[in-house]
Structures are given as C-alpha cells and as structure tokens.
Amino acid sequence: MAKVNSNRVDIFNRTIISSLFLLGWPMVVSNLMQTFYNVVDAYFLGKLGKIEFSAPTVVWPLLFVFISFSIGFSNAGVALVAQYTGARDKENAKRAAGQSLLVSFVIGTGISILGIIISKPVITAIVGPRSSQIVPYAISYFRIIMFGLPLGFIFNTTTSIVRGWGDSKFTMKIMFLSTVINIILDPIFIFGFWIIPGFGVSGAAWATTLARGIAGIISAYHLFEGTRGFKIHFKDLYPKWWLIKKVLRIGFPGSASMSVTSLGFTIIMRFVSSFGPAVISAYGVGNRIISIITMISFGLGSAVTTMIGQFLGAKDVKNAEKTVKVAFLVNFSIVFFLSSLTFFFGGSLTKFFINDPEVIKVGNIFFKYVSFSLPFFTSMTVFTNTLIGAGRTEQSMIIDITRLWGIRVPLIGIMSAKYGFIGLFYAMIISNILALILAWLFVRFGNWKTPVISKSQL
C-alpha cells in the first residue's frame, strides 16, 4: 500500500478557506516560477541581439496553440482523478490517471510530429518577407521545442493528476527543479562553456526542452513509485476505451478553447500595434502587471478545480457550492485591493519599466480604466475552474470563446475606431464584466453539480 504523504490536503477534514489556501498558494508560486523561467530565457537571448531575441517571440503564439492541448488534457486528468478520489474509488482514480497519461503522450507525440512537419511554411508566413532574417532562428527554436513536447505533456498531466488527488506542492517542487535546470543550462547552451559550443537561439530551446524533459521523467517516476502517496501501475496504461472517451470529451474542449483564445489575442495585438510604440509599450507593461495579479486568481482557481472535483465525486453538493461562494468572495476582495493600487499608482508602475513620458501617460490611462474590471475578470476564473473541476469543459470553452471572439474582438474593432486607443480599454472593461455574468449564469443554472464519473467498467 502506498504511503500517504502529508503534502496531501484532505478537504473533507478542513475548512473551505484553509483548503483553498493550502491548495492554492503552491500554484501561485509555480506560476511565478514559470514567469521567471521566461524572463531568464529573454535575458540571455537579449545578449545575442534583436534578431535572435525576436525568434521565440515570433513563434510563441504558434507554440501556445500546440501547448494548449497539453493544458486541456491535464484538465481532464485533474477532473477525473479528483472526482474518483472524492468518491473513494481509488482503483478508478488510478485508471483515470493512467488513461490521461496515455492519451496525453499519444496526442503529444502526434502534435510534435505535425508541428515539425509544418514549421517551415507556417513560420515563414507568420514572419513575412520584411523580417525574413528571423526565419531560420525561429524554425530551429520551434522544432527543438516541438521535439520535446511529448515529455512536456507528461509533465503537465502528471502534476495535474497528483493535484487532483490533493497535492499541489508536487507541481511547485517539480517546477522549481525545472526552473533551476533551465537557469543553469541557458547560458551554457546559448554561449558555450568548456567543451560545449554555443548554440545561440537553438541553445535556449535545448535548455528549455531538457529542463522540461527531465521534469517530465522525474514527475512520472514519482507517480509510478507512489512517493507522493498516489501510485499508478503500468497496467493502468492499458487502453480502457470507456475512460479514454471521458478523457477526450473533457480534454478537447479545453484544448480548443485555449488554441482559439491564443489566436484571438494575436488579432487584438494587431489593433494595439496600429496605435504606435507608446501604446504597444504601455499595453505590454500593463499586461505584465496584470499577469502578476491574475497569478493569484489562477492559483486559487486551481484549488477550486480540485475541491469541486472531489466534493462532486463524494456527492457533497453543499460544500461544492460553498467552495464557489467562498472562492469568489476571497478572490474578489484580494484583487479589488490590488487593482486599487494599480488604479492609483499605475503611472509609477509604468515608469519603473519604461521611463518615457508618452508611455507613462498611456500607462496611467490604461490602469485607470482596466483596474476597474480586474476583480470581475479574475472572479470569472473561479466560475470557469468550477466547470473544469466538474468536467464540464465544453461550458468553460463557450465562456472563453464568447468573451474573446463574441465580445472583446468585435468591441475593440468598433471602439478603437471611434475612441482611439482608449477604445481598447473600454472593450476590455465591457468584455470582462459580461464574461463574468455569462460564467455566473452557467454556474447558477447549469448541470455542473452532476459528476461525470461512473463506477468501474472492467
């Protein structure tokens, strides 16, 4: 019998608020480390020059389209494992974990091959003739990341499985290991060290690929050895089609949602770019500050996903509903306080990054408008993560796509033409508030309180 690890949060013997905190804070730290991960890459690549620095930037939206499939199927793992754990059905929890891992690896391998095949024509089209010197670097970087994608899928799915069981510290620790490896390998592979030659942009890609690959292998080892208290066996990888269908049904909507969302933000960036460097810079600074605030909400949202899954698995609808209410109030209160600070000190925050009078002026306007809507936008994630934990990812997909393509993109086109760059901020406010209302309607009147799991089917 696997040893029970003290890192697991038993939500059935704790208060809602303490469970949210204990499950949420490791995910906040994990998100911060992911940001630091990207900053380190940018720092070292910046030493090579603007062409080399631009290569990962150019291919990132395309990369995210592929990576989003990993995130989508990891949602399937956390939802199913959480619900079976709540139902005290350990055997099916292990089976669900095994099938999630199997599907994730197979799809990750297929996507990896597809990405490598289409990389040259697609990246060449994205970059365009005016920046053709970036293309070789971008293709090389993209292909190396694609090569390591299957292990990246394993990493995301494995940590999500353990999180669904109730241990979110595992994700944080593995992410810390991956970040440290990346920090060590980045300068060695980019610039060279001792007998190792410098590979430039390709070196950054290899550092990232190896760091994530090692993290993926180590996380899988812990899962199969049961060192965290939850253990699966190789027999759990044998295809069970009734479970594979569940994984696909839950995983594909989330994957599609993130892919379509990534494309939507690419379109929005074109509108932003039309107003010149000052607006682009202020928008970039604003998004970076907002992303730090939203990390808190995403960490809290991850906790909600686990708790909703386990409570529904246990058929404890009352505590599932209470979790949503408490998480909403906690999130809204925290983000309201933080967004009040950005409202009053937005100009100073912008100046910290870029000391340019025009950028500071636009940044101040950005924060005056957008800060108002942040509590609404981040609280929406409480509702969408509720749906994910319930396994109703098709509903969270509808919310995400509607927010971006049904509301924000059309509003940005209309309002930026009428009000200039301030119209961008009007559109962000309206789309965030309307998206919250839409998400609330799904949670208030939807069918999420019925679990998606079923009893053993051997």
Which residue, among 20, 7, 29, has the nearest Cα to 172 in the 3D structure?
29
Residue at 123: amino acid letter: I
Helices (H), 47-168: 50-86, 90-127, 135-147, 149-165
pLDDT tens-digit readout, 405-421? 899 889 988 988 888 88
> pLDDT tens digit string along 191-244?
888 888 878 888 888 998 999 999 999 999 999 988 888 888 989 888 888 889
pLDDT tens sequence across 384-402: 999 999 999 899 999 988 9
Confidence of residue 458 (pLDDT cuts 50, 70, 90): very low
386-408 CB burial, b ≥16 within 10 A, e <16: bbbbbbbbebbbbbbbbbbebbb
How much is the average pLDDT of 34-51? Answer: 72
Residue 455 is classified by DSSP as: -
The whole-number average pLDDT for the span 163-183 is 89
What's the confidence (pLDDT) of residue 194?
Answer: 82
Helix (H) or strand (E) holding 24: helix 16-46
Tokens 């704790």 label which residue? 14
State the virtual CA torsion across 95, 101, 104, 106 in degrees, nearest 10: -90
Asked if 343 and 367 touch (Cβ cutoff 8 Å), the reply is yes
Helices 241-273 and 409-419: crossing angle, nearest 10°?
Answer: 10
Residue 212 to residue 124: CA distance in whole angstroms: 27
Residue 2, pLDDT > 50, answer: no
- DSSP state at residue 49: -
**Percent above pLDDT 90 for the chain:** 31
DSSP string, 366-423: HHHHHGGGHHHHHHHHHHHHHHHHTT-HHHHHHHHHIIIIIIIHHHHHHHHHHHTTHH
Whether the per-residue pLDDT at 457 is higher than 60: the answer is: no
- Nearest-angstrom CA–CA distance, 66 and 68: 5
pLDDT of residue 3 exceeding 60, the answer is no
Identify the residue whose tokens are 């086109």.
413
Query: pTM of the predicted model, to two decimals?
Result: 0.84
pLDDT of the residue at 228: 84
* Cα–Cα dist 394/442, whole Å: 11
What's the N-to-C CA distance of the chain in angstroms?
Answer: 22
pLDDT at 273: 67
